Structure 1
């Protein structure tokens, strides 16, 4: 939706665009300018769903920072039985936009909760916004939608709070995903902040014996627990990733963050199948008025990617 954000988490990669922390440090480093208007986003979504796409995730930056967020999210066609719309947000602006968010057909809100105190929020996100604002955003989300989930990146800055975040999720019966930090060019300087998932896995095993592993088709392998009926996912690098043809000769495969599982549509009219390979980004802004050609062009690009011929 937008590369802009009201906070600046140090690990933000912004999917091959300039992330907020870099722009904050050097104002000459700006992300791509927005090209798409609300109607363009809606055309792309409708075209891709008509061609078989099932799940749509609205991300950023912070998607609620986008000037077209309201016009897009309130105009989405209702999702079908086998499709869904998910808003992924830092939670700080949910209460502000609650009135119109209730008018959207969103199926789910997923809130990033990498912190559980003002101190860890400031250390990770470089903001003076208080943790109370984030937690209130989660409460507002639960007031609007039946399905609210959390995700938490495992870091040295929040190690002492991870179990509290888990308890918070379980008490409110919210699924939560714990994710290991994978070093990329965007966060190489902070690679020493990464924490292994073994600690949270060990703790979850004291709470439940309901555990299984899912690998195929999900991009990055995940370990899934159920605690009193609440699903807890752990994204664990040792479980491998879902690679396809283009990945076989990829020069940055060793740094692969999540494998292949999604298409990334950006605000500047690009679509790409890989987080780390901006050279594989397909510019489709001139096709957005021709939905048939758009879907065909994207399908051809993905076929070449999966076959390794890009």
Structure 2
């Protein structure tokens, strides 16, 4: 595993790249833990060693946790003050982490254009509903890649029942005004995709279908990836309200509206937002996402690219100094966008 990048020493910090990323509604993705109570075969784990790999090879372990709740909150507050507005809390499964409750219960108050989203597999929402309901979370996004016990076992290698996940979705609907679903398209769930869509439409839940993005961790089952064409064709039988959005950062998305419910499909033919560092990147041909999220991991690393572990920046020593913390991150993003890292 690569050592974390050290920040460059400089007296002049250029905030332009960070501000542009924020203006384009780039995400801040904050991982509480690399651990998960299921083990989806395709998991990229925000760049850490994913659960299915550890499950078959105990010598492959994720990074140790270095951040405590105060450290997490310092990073979130500092980067939101610097302009980032969309904060997503991830894992692993974030609700398996002891960090989740003390962080989510103490999130700083945000402005009207900011949001906090929890991304979860849904299995533990009901268990934690008492304190989750008191948080400042705006939205819960549940990954629903399966719709039966059989597909859940095939995809996630677990004996947990699909009923637990569906009940978690209902628990989220009871607590939060915004609940969304996302489904990764794959051979293992191709026979259930339309049923998942029907489930979402019946409950008036926005839905996102996603084509598989290849990583080192899932290349062994690359044949499971399927095209989005089947779901696109099905959606066109349900509505003529369709458009493409390519604004901002990340992949473009094809958006459908069915009875007022937004259903979008992310696939590799709709464009991406690359920056200077990407020009000579040895992983460029494998990347279909571009620079759309700034990732913070539980080890105190900040990473602008999922595929490039060597671009992780160690920020642990700056947590007590917000001014220096934001300068270091801004400088790192500038170097990344200018191709000088």
TM-score, normalised by the number of residues in structure 2: 0.90
1:23 maps to 54
2:25 maps to none
CA distance in 1, matches of 2:288, 2:133: 33
Of 262, 270, 273, which aligns to 1:239? Answer: 270
Which of the numbers 143, 147, 154 marks the counterpart of 1:116? 147
> Match for residue 199 of structure 1?
230
The answer to whether the 8 A contact 2:53-2:217 is kept is no
Q: Give the Cα–Cα distance (whole angstroms) in 2 for the partners of residues 257 and 275 of structure 1.
A: 11
Structure 2 residue 137 is the aligned partner of structure 1 residue 139? no
Deviations 1:9-59 (A, max 9, x none): 000011221100011111221100000000100000000001111010000
Question: More relative contact order in 1 or in 2 (CA 8 Å, sep 6+)?
Answer: 2
- Distance in 1 (CA, whole Å) between partners of 2:152 and 2:288 is 23
Alignment correspondent of 1:303 = 334
Matches within 5 A, 1:38-49: 38-49=69-80
* Maintained 8 Å contact 1:270/1:284: yes
| Residue number among 314, 321, 328 corresponding to 1:290 in the alignment | 321
Structure 1 position 87 matched with structure 2 position 133:
no
- Runs of 4+ in structure 1 off by over 4 angstroms are none
| CA displacement 1:250-270 (0-9 Å, x = unmatched) | 110111142111100000000
* Structure 2, gaps ≥5 residues long: 1-31
Match of 1:256 in 2: 287
Contact 2:243–2:254 (8 Å) recurs in 1 = yes
1:175 is aligned to 2:206 = yes
Q: Which residue of 2 aligns with 1:61?
A: 92
Q: How many residue pairs were aligned?
A: 310
**CA distance in structure 2 between the aligned counterparts of 1:160 and 1:88, rounded to whole angstroms:** 24
The whole-number CA distance in structure 2 between the counterparts of 1:72 and 1:37 is: 9
Tell which deviates more after alignment, 86-95 or 287-296: 287-296
CA contact (8 A) 1:2 1:61 kept: yes
Q: What does residue 128 of structure 1 align with? A: 159
Is residue 209 of structure 2 the alignment partner of residue 163 of structure 1?
Answer: no
- Give secondary structure in 2 for the equivalent of 1:263: strand
**Which residue pairs with 1:213 in the alignment?**
244
CA change 1:100–1:45 in 2 (3 A) is same
Distance 1:255 1:89 in 2: 26
